[in-house]
Structure 1
Amino acid sequence: MDERYGVVAETIRIEGTRILATLIRTVGDVQLAEDAVQEAALAALGAWPVTGVPPEPRAWLTVTARRKAIDIIRRERARGTKERDGADLLELSRPEPELDPVSALEPEDVVEDDLLRLIFTCCHPSLSPPTRVALALRTLCGLSPAQIAGVLLTTEVATTKRLVRARQKIAAARIPYRVPAEAELPERLPAVCAVIHSLYTAGHAPAEGEAAYDVDLCAEAIRLAELLHSLLPDQPTPTAVLALLLLTQARQAARVDDAGEVVTLDQQDRSLWDQDLIARGVALLNDSLERSARQADAYQLQAAIAAEHARVPSYPATDWREIVRLYDLLVEVSPSPAAELARIVAIAETGEVDRALVMLDAIPPSSRRHAVRAELLARRSQYAEAVHELDQALAEAPADHPERAHRQRRRALFHARTADNQQGP
């Protein structure tokens, strides 16, 4: 029984976005689609533990969600609380034999088109940038309003209101659910690329949970990046995004050990790195740079940094001065605390630890900044101060943060060295 509940939850987690995208295409209403998918999930939780998981669970959920949407529309009509022109009901009622649970699933390219339409809808220029991000995180990542509030540094109430307003605006303005015409792409493409990159980041470095990365979320982001690149193969930015994701993904197998513990870059077994992904990522990066006349944007610079790490056989062979140069450009092109912190780490690796410590003072406090300061202080044998910084890092990070065990091990090491220093020779 418990195993079947787990299958339902896992299916909804993996396939929920695709089912939602398909239903939004059909009905053109994000809120209605979300409500229908949620009711379909509840129906599965009630039925599958008794009848067993169907051979094609996504098809079952999709058909059930369509039927739930019809029920919702009819209930609203009966109550007279919402006006509809009947088009939604007609569209939903149209037979779709390819979605019959007994038959095969709908062609994968249709599903991919649905997801791409969903991204472009979230990134419509009439929506404010924070709203685009909130809507994308909700529909693409399935994050709750509380989780989105944490990402956007706002409240759950404000996030919920923002999502409601976004859905209302999409419906009222009849924002088309489609890939826009070529003339419309330039103003939307940066936001679409940012959403796909954010989706991968959410999987590569989860803010919550014990896992060091989310395999399914990373794979979904790469798949969408591939789709966007195939749609716009001559555009340098989507090409650079795909290059960055592949070069980052190439190191995934070496990021955790057999016990699931985080392995830092300097300790990773580079024989586990995927050389095919690295080769393709470098080729895409070079192609992107040629198409932009070698005027690099933020994604190209990040990909170049990843390529610089990937091309050397060992950590000591890393050309840190070149990486600092690339980070200097990145901070200039797209300044952010994360980019600045990474640049400081690279500067320290060139031997300028004192300069790096001074530069850390300009970075907003965070768990990550405390952890970096601890490592730099330890290089100056200031182990007591390093322990204090790691205490701060552990206090500010979630209890189940994937790097928590690594930081606790480093704290124990620095604490032991503090005791050694106090004992003297």
Structure 2
Amino acid sequence: LINFRCKCKANVEGLYCDRCRPGTIHLNADNPLGCQACFCFGMTDKCREIPWATAVISNNVGWNLTDLSGGRDVRPEVENREVLMFNANQNKDRSLFYWKAPDTFTGNMLNSYGGNLHYFVYYVPMEQGNSVPVADLVIEGNGIKVEYYTRMDFFPRENMTVQIPIREGSGWYNSVTRTPADKADMLRALAGVDRFLVRAMYQQQQLQSSIFGLTLDTAVPPPEGSPVDQDENVLHPSIPDTRMRGVEVCECPENFAGNSCESCVPGYRRVNNQLYGGRCEKCSCQGHTDTCDPFTGECTNCQHNTTGVRCELCLPGHYGNPSLGGELGACRPCACPTTENSRSPECVMTQLVVAGPAASQEDAYVCTACERGYEGNKCEV
């Protein structure tokens, strides 16, 4: 106490040090700073910790056995749709170490940050042998891979309970740098999970292993219209709290979206695929669509009879100048000699139209694949 006032940690304020400072969330006595800074992928320092409820993700369908490189996939045995079983005859060269999770556990998994992965393990050794020194969980996404090591002793023929915190801390490592994973590593991987791998081998001479009861915590927003506790950064130790803690909701700048500003709004894409501190720019699609791939920028759902990475081409059987943009650059069906009775599936423009749509000039296009027995610019002869 200083003059009967509490001396707060760096990121904590209030008479009783019971509130996070602006730009920080998740009041936690175990945090040396008291609260953690807003991450928001470097786009803002304004965020809140919304008191969302905790739910679980669970799916026993679609799991495969694989190696770390992803070069092999083997469909496992499933007992009663509850237990995933791995037999030695599925791994004659002993290279399969992991269960690869189905799509339920991939994509944007930021809402699982701060939760736990729970599951049970049972394995039977073939004979006395050495344990396999591999990670218990590997999460890979957005060009980064993080690994978790429980350092548990897994005893054969016993149901072992595993709980893995989906948050930076003891046991988590960046698999490239081999240094402890930080919050940036975790959130980058969780923002776009490509592979979610759970350990399947516990001994080199292993006859069988199983996992069951696997669940992953995730935060879910309250029902529409329900009251929300606005004092989410105040610690109430006497009140049981089943909410997901540490899930940030950021005040994103224009053209950014997502709880942590991890996405561009529809109609925009990431510049140079840069996730942290990157920019979102408008899709470049000549005005023929408003949507594109958020990372590659490739246009999707091209309109006006256009196609191509930038909607810069006419569909087969059409002609025009898409670069004029919008309706003006719409491609028109080839009339060879008429659209109702066309004798050529293809045509090409014979002049560059720069002042208006390519349909007004008689010689604006030539049919190039007239059916046998027909000829002429429009297959009219």
Class of the TM-score when normalised by the shorter of the 2 chains: under 0.3
TM value normalised by structure 1: 0.25
Q: Does 1 or 2 have the higher relative contact order (CA < 8 Å, sep 6+)?
A: 2
* More strand by percentage: 2
* TM-score (normalizing by structure 2): 0.27
